[in-house]
Each structure stands twice: as C-alpha cells, then as structure tokens.
Structure 1
Amino acid sequence: MIEIDLFKSMRYALGLTAMVMAILFIFCYPTNIFILAASSYLFLICASDTLYSKIPNIFTLALIVIGLSTNIAISGLPGIMVSITGFTIGLSLLLIPFLMGGMGAGDVKALTALGTLLGPDITFQLFLYMGIIGGLLGLLFHLTNPGSRVQLRHYISSLKNAYLTRDFKSFSRPVNRSSNRFPYATAIAFGFFAQTFWGSLW
C-alpha cells in the first residue's frame, strides 16, 4: 500500500509541477503567442493525463487550429507549410514508438499538435528533450511502481521457462497495467519548458 501511494504521489506531484510551470511560462511570456498557446495546452493536457490518464482530442484539435491560424497570420501562406511540416515531424517522430506499444495515441497527437504550432525545428528539439526527460521520469516511475516488479518477475520467469523447454511460443510479455501508466504529458511539458529556457541541444 505504501508503494502504491508513493507511485500515485509522484504522479500527482509531477503533474502539479508541470501545471505550475505552465502557468509561470504564461505569465513570463505574455506577448509570445507561441509560448502562450503551447503552455496553455500543456497545462490542460497535464491536468487531464495526471487525473484521468487521457488527453482529450478537443484540446489537441484546438491547438492544431490555433497553430495553423497563428503561423498563417504571422508568415502568410508560407506559414501553412511551417505548420504542415511541423505536424508531419511531430507525427513521424512518435509513430514508431506508438506502433510498438510504448506510447499512447494521445501523446503522439500532442506532439503533432505542438508541431503544428511550433514548426519542424523546435518540434525536433522538443522531441530530443522530452526523450531524455521521459526516459528519466519513466525509470523513476517504474522503480516506484509495485506492478513493475510483478511484471519484471513474470518476464524473467517466462523467458527462463521458454529457454529451458525450448518452447519459445510459450513466452509471453507482461500485461500492461493502464491504471499505473506513466503520464507522458508531463515529459512533453518539461521537454517544452527545457527547450524554451535552454534552447537547442545542438
């Protein structure tokens, strides 16, 4: 019970931290429409992902519309290409992890929406930051998640049994427990804040 509470406490603490940082960025960059829109979106999806383990499509669709409209308003017709390219980059970068089962559809759509707003260059840098931060947070979450230990023991036992019996068809992966899912919206948010504050990784 203590371990489960630790996992949930960490989940809520990180989600709340991301939401507070989103508010700070909104107040620190009130004239930057890109940071303002992205921070507002990240506040909403972090709240939803932390509490309900889902990212509503209505938030994502709204940001796509805002991103496209903003780029057109600022750059004219070339802004359409900026948004389309950013959309494509955001989608393609997380498509393989999604197809492999390591990423939720909402997370993919979130980066896609941010790509529509931010364009391809910033989206790629955001992807790099969120990959690093997401890896660290994911490890932290798994170390505090009692279900991960059960899954790891199942994985090792199943692999050992398959090796000893030479019946590799009997090997089965651990069942993914969605109730203890790592809320990746926080990694996306921290990645965006890091990219905005520190700039490109190279």
Structure 2
Amino acid sequence: MADYQLLLQVVIAGVFFILAIIVDLTKEKIPNWLCLLAIFCGFSINSYFAQLSGLMISFIGFSLAFIILFPTFIFKILGAGDIKLMMGIGALMGPQLLVWSIAYAIVAGAITSTLLIIWKSGFSGCFKTAKRYWDCFYLRTYFKPEVGEAAGQKVPYAPALAMGWLWACSLNPDITHLYSSVSHSLFS
C-alpha cells in the first residue's frame, strides 16, 4: 500500500511540475488553480492512505514550504506562484523531501537563472549589469537597470524548483527503491 501511495505522489507531483514549467515559461506566472489543485491532492492523498498522520504530514509540509519560502517573496526573489506550488508539493510529498527539494532548487536555480539571463540579454546585458554594479559601488549611488540589462530580466523559477525536486527524489532511498521495483516489474 505504501508503494502505491508513493508512486501516486511522485507521478502527480511530476505532472504538476511539468504543467508549472510550461505555464511559467510561456506566461511567466504559475496559476492559482494549479497550486490549489496540488495542495488539495496532497491533503487528499495523504489523508486517504494514512488518515490523521497523513493529514499531519501534509500540513507540516504545506506549512514548512510557506515558512521557508515566504521571505523570498518579501525580498522579491520568488513569485507567489512559486511559493504556492511548493506548498502544494510539501502537502503532497511531506516535509523531508520538500526541504531537500528547496535546497537542491537553490543550486539548480543558480545555474538555470544564469543560463536564462544570458539567453535573454546576452553577454552584453551581463556586462552592462556588471558595469552598473561597479558604478553603484564606486559612486555609492543606486542606478536602476537599463533596458536590455541582465538585472532587469524576469526569470521563471519553476524549472529550478522541478530540478531540485528531481534531484531530491533521485537521492531518496524510498523513491529509488520504488523506481527500481517498478522498472523491474515493467521490463522483466
């Protein structure tokens, strides 16, 4: 029964991440309906399979995502959709996988954000940003980013969140055991 629950959780979380990436890359926003559906699925699945303890795991994962990520919204690092999506993933997968997903998403985000910024603004935009930062530091005055500058670009973060989740899943012994047993039963 636990294998069916974990399989369902991983597949549903993967579907939510795929949808979030598609929408975030095209519209630069993760819709509320997707986040609310993820939250609902998380609470429903965990409550169905593990009753009250499952409900508590969902609540802790949901709350922990909010507690960890809300400061990133205040400082305009992440958008509200990113945070609500991870609240849904926390409700679905639980607090332990959530924390590792966020930790790995920070590393993945540094890489994907840099690549997306270079793709959007080019190396000249990065050079303009570096020059503006130097001017701000040297003159001790803040200058707003110019058009075409790397610092003025919006970067969708759903791909980094998904990569962090995949990374956390690949290192989770329960999920790797599930993957090997499912692949063994399908291909043997």
TM-score strictly above 0.5? yes
Question: For 2:6 and 2:56, how far apart are their aligned partners in 1?
Answer: 24
In the other structure, the counterpart of 1:99 is 74
In the other structure, the counterpart of 2:95 is 120
Q: Which amino acid counterpart does residue 160 of structure 1 have in structure 2?
A: Y
* Aligned equivalent of 2:44, options 53, 61, 69: 69
Counting matched residue pairs gives 163
Closer/same/farther in 2, CA of residues 148 and 92 from structure 1, 3 Å limit:
farther
Question: For 1:191 and 1:133, how far apart are their aligned partners in 2?
Answer: 6
Question: For 1:52 and 1:149, how far apart are their aligned partners in 2?
Answer: 27
1:9-33 Cα deviation digits (max 9, x unpaired): xxxxxxxxxxxxxxxxxxxx99811
In the other structure, the counterpart of 2:136 is 158
Give 3-state SS (helix, strand or coil) of 1:77's partner: helix
For normalisation by structure 1, the TM-score amounts to 0.73
1:80-117 Cα deviation digits (max 9, x unpaired): 11111001111122122221121111111111110011
Unaligned runs of 5+ in 1: 1-28, 163-169
* Aligned equivalent of 1:134, options 109, 113, 120: 109
In the other structure, the counterpart of 1:84 is 59
Asked if the contact 1:155/1:173 (under 8 Å) is kept, the reply is: no
Residue 192 (structure 1) aligned with residue 162 (structure 2): no
Question: For 2:93 and 2:156, how far apart are their aligned partners in 1?
Answer: 22
Asked if the contact 1:71/1:80 (under 8 Å) is kept, the reply is: yes
* Aligned equivalent of 1:51, options 26, 33, 53: 26
Q: What is the alpha-carbon root mean square deviation over aligned residues? A: 2.2
